[in-house]
Structure 1
Amino acid sequence: MAAPAEKMDTTEARIAALSMPQGGWSDAARADALARLRAMGLPNRRDEYWKFTRPDVLTQVEAPSAAVLETSEAQVFSNIDALRIVFNDGVFDAEASDDLAMEHVTIDRLADTSADIHWAGSLYGQLEKSGQTPVARPLGALNTAFATDGILIHVTGKAPRPIILVYHHRAENSEAILHHVIKLDTGAELTVLETGPAAARFNKVMEVDVADTAAFHHVRAQGRDHERHAATHIFTRLGTESTFKSFTLTVNGRLTRNDCVIELTGDDAIAHVAGACVGDGDFHHDDTVFITHDALRCESRQVFKKVLRNGAVGVFQGKILVKAGAQKTDGYQISQSLLLDDDSQFLAKPELEIYADDVICSHGSTSGAIDEEALFYLRSRGVPTEIATDLLTLAFLAEAVDEIEDEGLRDALVEQLEGWLERHRG
């Protein structure tokens, strides 16, 4: 189906301003993605899943300007023993990165794989393409077509340590289009960490194929007072008795849209996706999640908490689709906001679509202010108002943060939250 006429000028202008990498195993997938992009068109506010978030800055030809700030964001996971991979404005930095050799793990750079055959050839763009149904995600197709760099990770066993992807923003008008492909073989296990502002405008896709009994853990720290604009996508396919768990912490940033599309295709698979965000002022944060249950006895959890103040806007769009035959599904979804003033907004669209009759599925969404009784209790025991508010805020976010299994990673992100709250007191 052709895109509406009003979309085509924007789409063609964006395409004309980009250069598609040529030569190698990804050519066919890129051409297919470009054709799909032209058919659907880039998003606008008339699209159902963009009615709460203006996509203009993500689709315009010129990247927006964002000041380059010296922050300690890259040090969020400084105490974690991890293999470090660094990108500067979307370009792999070999000198700043660690040696990519690691037991049970093969790592290649997307920009370096120009051969006709590569293991990623059967995956690149395929999970993104599958994730376009039933909801179109044109920024994902744009990424598959035009991604200039990224990391290809093949895991054959239990990785001895996590991999951390560190993104640096060096130029005020930079744009980064990164595409990562991660394949976990049967029984394999890997943890991937992400941190740092990649560019003034960032479009990233991560495709994760989790085979039977494999486990993938993902923890991401975004923002920290950085005026960047980001659209990220995670497309995941899960095999039998496999596990996928992802958590994202976002602290400020101008515009952030995180899409997560998960397909549970093997029996007894588990998928958890969670997020905590804190925003102040000119801040717009959108979590959009779509989980499809297409196998027996699978479990999914969506847990999202947002703290907003001074006119900040939070969005949550989450859907659980249970296909016919996906009996014994256990699907849980909760989205909540804590509004620290009357100017902020939380916009939520929780959805359930169920075609099986033996399931346990629930969803809920709430929005409210600080508990005045709890605040009074703390103040009556000598805790200053600002510190008491911070304590209650951290307690509110705890359900989402507790989704992180690793205690060291959990403590690192709680420290980031505490720092943001301290900087934004008063």
Structure 2
Amino acid sequence: MQSLIDIFKNHWKAIAITFTIGKFLWESYINNNQLNKIENEIVLHQKSYGDNINLLVNDKYEQSLLNLKNLVKLTLNKLSFNLIKDLLIIYFDVYNVIWVLSKKINEHLSFILPINSICQTIIFTIISNILIFCWGIPIQFYGEFIVSDFPKREKPINWLMIQYSILIFKILGDSIKILGSLIIIKFIKNFPIWQISLGYFIYSITRISLAPIYINLTAGPNFLKPIPNGELKDEILNLCSKIGFDSNSIYLTDFEFSSMGFNYLPNMITINERTRSIFTIKELSSIILQCILQIKLNLHLQKQIINSIILYINLFFFEKILFKDNNVINQFGFKIDKNQSNNLIFIKYLIFNKIFIPINIIIGLIKNYLNKRKIYQIDQSTFEIYKIEFLNSMIKMKNNNTLKNFENDSIYNLYYSEIPSFNKRIEFLKENNKIE
């Protein structure tokens, strides 16, 4: 590997540009395949109407396909938009410009912040997030309120405030991660790969564990309602007693976490009050069981372990390739001597992510595959208890989706989706349990 590093070490900027363009071409290819499949499905669907073509005006499936087509086109535009952004950052040494600006801001704030590389790096992160937000918000707004025909849940001003909230939480989260990593690096002699990975794991678990508290505080007192006495509560109590789960963690709510109104957080399961009438008591309980199994099998924990392993792999190769390479920062416009290069570890890691793009794509594909396998396992465990009721609930959820008869392109689905489609899950249950 060292011989390859020696060959490429004077060309990191060219490699970053090449891989950035390569990722754009790869994702454009995938989305174009998806677009072609949608267009073919639209043609076939229109042909199925024959002479009754006027009925297509009110056909929900047709409208959903057209909307999906527009969204994929929007994704292609976003890819081009982001390619321009990334090439501008690399070619015009934007990291160096922001770093210099961060230093000046750090000096102006010296009355409240110490002047050091840690504070400068955090300021760098804040500026970077704000610039990326300003770059991306117009096209996000265009996609949400102009292109998309799906029902809007918020007014534009409310949507914008939510985006600002997400930005603030991202800045806080990134600052905490960077602060923790830089403190660990400062106090440990060798590059602390496993210590940073462990710190990230602890941070992730803490953040997830606080999610129910945050939702309770922000959503208001009427957000979560206890399950009322009746057949549903009796079935839930019976189920929870069998599998050892606290039934008090299951609530009704009017807030829609997902299209069918079901979701789970750590030790919290919510049932959407407006959609529960679609299912029988047994069918609804089977979906609740799915959520319980995800909690009992520590799906969140497993995801964070996988994310920490991925971070470890990234840091391992970063240490081998760029950590000690001071030439790389000079290629990206930084005029800093060797003694100051340790202050730019975070910048080096940002550059490394541009170089490590092919490996991260492969890692993402593997991660999606493993997550889909886990969903299939949970589906099978649920089926073993509720049998045909669970299968019926899956069919109803599929039928409630206006795109129920459409399957994404296989490569597109593998690359972008962590969860199998309802069609695939139903097909798996039927094949695995020999159901006609």
Provide the TM-score with structure 1 as the length reference: 0.22
Whose strand fraction is larger, Structure 1's or Structure 2's?
1
TM-score, normalised via structure 2 length: 0.22
Looking at secondary structure, tell me which structure has more helix per residue.
Answer: 2
Q: Whose radius of gyration is greater, 1 or 2? A: 2
- Greater RCO between the two (CA within 8 Å, min separation 6)? 2
